[in-house]
Structure 1
Amino acid sequence: MAAQASGDPTPGPTVITDPDGIGGLSSETISYGRHRHQQMDVWWTPDGMTRPGVFLIHGGWWSSGDKRQMTAITREYADRGYTVFNLNYRLSTEAAWPAQRTDALAAIAMAKKHAARWALDVTNFVVVGFSAGGHIAASVGTYGNGMAGLKGVVGLSPIISPLRAYKDGEETLDPYKRKLRSAAVRLAGGCAPKGKCSRVWASMEVAWHASAKDAPMLTVHSQDEFVPPVQSQLLKQMLGKAGVAVTTWSVPGIGHSSALYRTPGVAERVQEWITSHLG
């Protein structure tokens, strides 16, 4: 069943992020569904002003990772004046695709429904994902024909095409590419992209769902990482045909996901892109 963002948000474990109030920030952990991983940390400035939103989605091969690894980045965006939602989601070891996209959509719906609680401007937010989280973020961006209020999607080393990752990992000595191939199979429920599983693999392909009202995207890759820039080329082509702007950017090296984000100049450029789309 799809996670539903209904009723009041359910408090999760308390997160103490600014105990002395130095930054003027408030935070709490909220459950947006019944599963233990359907939770998000929310950081906001309780000054009576509504603020643009940033939704962060962690990576981890779809099968691991936790929002805790995004805490520092969450704080950075909160300090910049955004209301920030740092998401957990059901892992592929717990539920097959599209559960991960469903969870991200449910978290966004919960945030919109209770926007006044967190001073969120529901007409002005972005989704930022890292690696497997970049795949989820981009899939949110191409779900349906646009989402009200979504002004942009950013992917750091995003797996735009699990099919491409599956093929790239077939005959290679690169252990990361081989692991990504296996991770994509696990995400699809344990089966290869043929026969009865063809539909779920098609659902996982971000570029195949491009629509004219989708949000613009920024994707960033290292030139020699195991999720190469070619992953974003089809997305740029397909969204471009629909009239949606996609900016693809690559930097030298092999840095992946959070390591790529910490490469000098990358975080600053991502922040500039977000600012230009949120104001």
Structure 2
Amino acid sequence: MPTDPDGIGGLATETVSYGKHRHQQMDVWWTPDGVKRPAVFLIHGGWWSSGDKKYMTEITRSYADRGYTVFNINYRLSTEAAWPAQRVDALDAIATAKRHADRWAFDASNFVVAGFSAGGHIAAAVGTYGNGLPGLKGVVGLSPIISPLRAYTDGATAADPNARRLRTASILLAGGCAPKGKCSRVWASMEVAWHASAKDAPMLTVHSEDEFVPPSQSAVLKEMLAKARVPVTVVTVPGAAHASALYREVSVTERVQEWISERIG
């Protein structure tokens, strides 16, 4: 049954399953006043192999407090299923939300997807899946891994241990094999920019200048989507903060919230 979390007046929340696997769940926060509202879908990071929606609770609450219906998604990890399981799960979670839009006061024609690090990759992959997803008005990535292939290449010679770890994580996401031979197809599927099309949603990506997921990750996405006449805004800020830590910088939080408001109100 829906509950009023922590006694917050006017908000309800529940955890629902959108599939049979234990990680195919999402937390839903909404205002049960009968008014359909735009939604924010949140996707956590964690190298595709770890992390959990519980670490996104504070951010989930902040968007619910701003009047959005919020879906905070878990998905099958790369230790449990190889790509494209993670994109499939995000799409299934969105489809489930649409089927039950009335229950959660959700305007299914008006939503954005926001992801952090590996979750940013999943969010961006949703954004370039097919030729546009109905109702999707924008995608936000905080330190998004736009190109696992570039992460694989860069990680081979990187001094940063996180960059080397990202290379290993990308291999695991692909099912444990390098981007050649029989695995070339799955690696191609993982490359967000290679699937750009004219009806894709606009995107906003944010990187720190010196983090291990560099702004250059988003440069190719901006180039490819520009060819399809889809706007991409790449924001770079000083420092090395990554994903959630980057988002919590006040200027970044405000920039993301403003961008989302411009897309869906």
- State the TM-score, normalizing by the size of structure 1: 0.94
Which is further off, 58-67 or 23-32? 23-32
After TM superposition, the structure 1 = structure 2 runs for residues 1-279 of structure 1, keeping only pairs within 5 Å, are: 18-20=5-7, 22-279=8-265
The C-alpha deviation readout for 1:101-127, integer Å capped at 9, x for no partner, is 000000000000110000000110000
Question: Does structure 1 retain, via aligned residues, the 8 Å contact 2:2–2:12?
Answer: no
SS at match of 2:62: helix
CA positional deviation for 1:173: 1.8
The C-alpha deviation readout for 1:28-67, integer Å capped at 9, x for no partner, is 0000000000000000000110000100000000000000
Letter in 1 for 2:241: G
The C-alpha deviation readout for 1:228-279, integer Å capped at 9, x for no partner, is 0000000000000001000000100000000000113100110000000002
SS at match of 1:267: helix
The C-alpha deviation readout for 1:186-212, integer Å capped at 9, x for no partner, is 000000000000000000000000000
Q: Structure 2 CA distance, aligned partners of 1:142 and 1:108?
A: 15
CA positional deviation for 1:170: 0.1
CA positional deviation for 1:17: 5.4
SS at match of 2:63: helix
Q: Structure 1 CA distance, aligned partners of 2:231 and 2:160?
A: 32
Letter in 1 for 2:86: Q
Question: Does structure 1 retain, via aligned residues, the 8 Å contact 2:174–2:183?
Answer: yes
SS at match of 1:117: coil
Which residue is equivalent to 1:10? Answer: none
Question: Does structure 2 retain, via aligned residues, the 8 Å contact 1:145–1:213?
Answer: yes
Q: Structure 1 CA distance, aligned partners of 2:5 and 2:173?
A: 36
Unmatched runs of 5 consecutive residues or more in structure 2:
none
SS at match of 2:102: helix
Q: Structure 2 CA distance, aligned partners of 1:257 and 1:140?
A: 18
Unmatched runs of 5 consecutive residues or more in structure 1:
1-13
Letter in 1 for 2:69: T
Letter in 2 for 1:210: A
Question: Does structure 2 retain, via aligned residues, the 8 Å contact 1:23–1:79?
Answer: no
Letter in 1 for 2:98: K
- State the TM-score, normalizing by the size of structure 2: 0.98
